Structure 1
Amino acid sequence: MASNFLFPSLPLLLFLLLTHSGAWPAPQLSTDFYGRSCPQVFDTVRSVVQSAIQQERRMGASLLRLLFHDCFVLGCDASLLLDDTPTFRGEKTAKPNNNSVRGFEVVDQIKAAVEKVCPGVVSCADILAITARDSVVILGGPDWEVKLGRRDSRKASFKKANREIPPPFFSLANLTASFARKGLSLGDLIALSGAHTIGLAQCLNFRDHIYNDTDIDSSFAKMRQAYCPRAVGSGDSILAPLDLQTPTVFNNDYYNNLVAFKGLLHSDQELFKTIGSNSVPLVKYYSGNTAAFFNDFVVGMIKMSDIRPLTGKKGEIRKNCRKMN
């Protein structure tokens, strides 16, 4: 396994990687959208998120993940939150989400708290965006002003959830293409992947990597194999930390793990694998510069949160995030 790379000087390369092209325009979103209609929204959301994370540190990663899985399907519209009914099939039971995405009960608590202070004003889509930011901050990550004004979708797409959420077995080329379809650059992909500095993954999603891939530290693979059986269907739901060192602290250890070939998911290690790949220098850069990672993660989060929002008179403001009005 090759572990020595030559890293060129970075200024021009980083500029090219982090240049943002093709972002979904969201001119009607603003950071003071609820300045008059619900000035209490931020404190209200933060209080519930803080309590949920105090009860279970893992919940911060779960709440952050909700925004990713929502935005990558129909856009940042809270379609992910809709429950199935006898006449409606939502996104929760799609393969990337079923028995995996979690935190819906916390969102329910947040929505109920917000409705008490500002009934019928704040969308579930905006709650997801605020909650993701608060989860990052509470776990030690960067802060940013969240753009708001999204409305909630009256539809969902089971098929698109299966097709458009990048799976853990994707190659770098597949990941890059998937993000590009959402208006996100290679730089965005690498920075946003840093969200895996917190949280856990199921054996089902990293089994192939620890048993079959060669781009993995052998001792790390053996350690994970001790808790994740080779046989498919055996221990599929067994959990392991995405970041071995600090799975509940938002920092740059994720990139240090990739440089050491200790990425848990195949898709993670793909960012630091191939000599000459454009992703390798930026992973190395983030591994040694937390401030740079934090800055670019914020840029990526703001950009991702702009993917096809419903604004104006489109959609609705749900009273209950699990069902349409």
Structure 2
Amino acid sequence: MTQQLEITTMAAVHSFVCFILVILSIVVLIPTSSGLLTPDYYNKTCPGALDAVRSIVKQRIANEARYGASLLRLHFHDCFVNGCDGSVLLADTPTFTGEQSADPNIKSLRGFNVVAEIKAYLNFLCGGSVVSCADILAIAARDSINILGGPFYEVLLGRVDSLTASMDDANKDLPSSFSDFAGLLANFQSHGLDLQDLVALSGAHTIGLAKCSLYRPRIYGDTDINSNFAAGLKKVCPIDHGGSHRSPLDATTNIFDTVYYKELTQQKGLLHSDQELFSGGNRQSADLVEFYSNNQAAFWKDFAASMIKMGNLPPASSNGQVRLDCSVVNSPSPSPSPTSSPNLGTPTDNPSPPASVPNLAPPNTGTPTDNPSPPASAPNLAPNTGTPTDNPSPTASAPNLAPSNTGTPTTNNPSPPTSAPNV
């Protein structure tokens, strides 16, 4: 009897411990200063929020496809600096110089006007400041990917917005386009991301553009580059002057496909850091590049998983708020300085519709109309309970690649600091 009681007690303790470990694993994987992230966070407080974001993003991309890459990049640059907290959207103030003034971002980040448009409309639609700016970035990035031909994945929501931003942290934390493979991997690992995340998330460069100043050293100095590819780029990017010309990161710059990886296997990576994924001496990375180049389903699946993982990076501070205006913290707070970025707009509490209300038709109903007349009241949008069908996501997975013996990556970037790709 005693032995049976001991066995029963041990089993109960084991079950309890397993339960605690499961709970702890969830908290570690999805931390946020406002609680656990969840896909249905706004279902009750603002059920039409996700449909509204998608409609606005779709309209802006229809007008200029480059906005898709720009909005995706804003989310990356937000999460890589002190977690996903909307800090990249804060304009400089008399008390701090924000991330927009950092080397990788200055005169490079764009899409702030679209974020301001989304925020202003959501303030109206939700009856106040309900949806955080950090969540807007995560939703807009997902929709941009899907609208440009990539996978649809479920975004976890419930982030809050930071109260400050740091130019120094942005200069330190964002990866460089001049990095070698060891430097790239060390950067990603410092954010809790691994080698597969590095290779999969770099696939975001299947859309967007990069400035001549970022790829000039590669086309004139690297040896692992296709000679015809380099010759063509030299015509638009001279060695001795100019740096504003932008070239596509792959040949299908407005389509979220696997051409980026195919071109890496052909030594046609535009940036040095891109080509390092295939030519940088790491066998596991090179194998993943080749695998993704021939398997779009696997790329989509792994990219979506890594985007969710990156989107769960916790904010550096437990203090946060839902900003009324994404460019400034809520009052009382310092006003933006005269040198602050002017393109963020000034959303208000919106007791009435913004001047330009988007056409909030359901996804995939044809070409949206830009800026129709404001409706008398907010549109009656059904909750976002399904998956938009622009590009339903396949379910294949990548092979189980054993890590290669490449030694310990360096912890410091051996290359000079520079701007990230301007997409």
| 1:270 alignment partner, SS class | helix
Tell me the CA shift for residue 25 of structure 1.
4.2
> Equivalent residues in 2 for 1:154-303 (5 A)?
154-231=163-240, 234-244=241-251, 246-274=252-280, 277-303=283-309
Q: Is the 8 A contact 1:150 1:310 kept in 2?
A: no
Counterpart of 1:74 in structure 2 is: 82
> Equivalent residues in 2 for 1:41-80 (5 A)?
41-80=49-88
Corresponding letter in the other structure for 2:289: V
Tell me the CA shift for residue 88 of structure 1.
2.5
| 2:224 alignment partner, SS class | coil
> Aligned partners of 2:174, 2:160: CA distance in 1, in Å?
21
Counterpart of 1:109 in structure 2 is: 117
Corresponding letter in the other structure for 1:288: N
Q: TM-score, normalised by structure 2?
A: 0.69
Counterpart of 2:160 in structure 1 is: 151
- The structure with the larger Rg is 2
Q: Is the 8 A contact 1:136 1:250 kept in 2?
A: yes
Corresponding letter in the other structure for 2:247: A
Tell me the CA shift for residue 47 of structure 1.
1.0
- In 2 relative to 1, CA 227–184 (structure 1 residues): closer, same or farther, beyond 3 Å? same
Counterpart of 2:12 in structure 1 is: none
The percent of aligned pairs where both chains have the same amino acid is 53
> Aligned partners of 1:310, 1:147: CA distance in 2, in Å?
18
> Aligned partners of 1:39, 1:23: CA distance in 2, in Å?
26
Q: Is the 8 A contact 1:62 1:103 kept in 2?
A: yes
Counterpart of 1:7 in structure 2 is: none
> Aligned partners of 1:318, 1:46: CA distance in 2, in Å?
20
**Which of structure 1's runs of 4+ aligned residues deviate more than 4 A?**
22-27
> Aligned partners of 1:39, 1:101: CA distance in 2, in Å?
30
Q: Does 1:306 align with 2:315?
A: no
Q: 1:322 aligns with which of 327, 344, 354?
A: 327
Q: 1:120 aligns with which of 126, 129, 139?
A: 129
The Cα offsets for residues 4-31 of structure 1, whole Å up to 9 and x where unpaired, read as xxxxxxxxxxxxxxxxxx9664561000
Q: Is the 8 A contact 1:23 1:183 kept in 2?
A: no
Q: TM-score, normalised by structure 1?
A: 0.90
Q: Is the 8 A contact 1:24 1:183 kept in 2?
A: no
> Aligned partners of 1:212, 1:310: CA distance in 2, in Å?
39
Unpaired runs of 5+ in structure 1? 1-21
- Comparing 80-89 with 94-103, greater Cα deviation is found at 80-89
Corresponding residue pairs, total: 300
Q: Over aligned residues, Cα RMSD in angstroms? A: 1.5
